[in-house]
Amino acid sequence: MIDAHSILKNCVDIVLQSGEIIREHWALPSNVRHKGSIDLVTQTDLAVEAFLKEKLVDLVPGACFLAEESSEDDEAPADLCWIIDPVDGTTNFVHRIPQVGTSVALWHKGRVELGIVNVPMLHRCYWAVRGQGAFCNGEPISVSGVDSLNDALVGTGFPYDIAKRLPEVMERLALVLPIAQGVRRIGAASIDLAYVASGKLDIFYEAGLKPWDFAAGILLVEEAGGRISNLTGAPLRFGDPLLASNGRLHALAVDLLSPTT
């Protein structure tokens, strides 16, 4: 049995330290290479991931790593695993847009037990331990009380293979835009989920996400009182389009978005 609370402080400290690498690199030129036509990686991604793996390896003996820049697959991880996105929002980082996050989750027996999303350039660190609530900079957070789609601020994202998925992306946007109060595309799913957890966004949906994009964030949402599923309302599985909400809007969001799945 993993006692996630007992390692929380040390884990948060390690993630905060990794944020200093992002801060240090912020003023330096980015050495960018392309993993895909619009999928970027920088020396900062690699440096943060290496730091996190070095520091976390002894925190939970026996845990493996599923990390964006070094993992060859994105299947459900082993029984005990750290799931890491060192720089979520690499394109934001390259353009020096401050919505850049580091996502660290501890996966155990089929679910996330601990999740941290640090946004170093905005000085916000979100964390949650299963069953113990969600926090930002040590203060409790909760989802919004919005119960009408007309009052809802909706977040979404666009997959790296958007050229192939453009019809479905546009179809969903066409459903949401006329009904919602507004739509935002922040460019980092872990931050979108942290924003749902803290009541800044009321709904977030996106297809094509990898485990490291959302593992920490889904626990934040659940522990803040929200709900996570796929777009049909069924339990989320790796590879599914993700839907997160404040809970009150979840059935309405499913009704709106599920016809396109």
Known binding residues for Mg(2+)? 68, 85, 88, 213
The whole-angstrom separation of Cα 213 and Cα 223 is 18
Residue (of 32, 59, 36) closest to 44 by Cα position: 32
Classify residue 207 by its DSSP letter: S
- The token pair that represents 77 in the structure block: 């991880």
Residue (of 77, 203, 100, 73) closest to 143 by Cα position: 203
- DSSP class per residue in 168-198: HHHHHHHHHTTTSSEEE--S-HHHHHHHHHT
Four-residue CA torsion sign, 226, 232, 238, 243: negative
- DSSP class per residue in 116-147: EEEEGGGTEEEEEETTS-EEETTEEE------
Which residue numbers belong to the known binding site?
68, 85, 88, 213
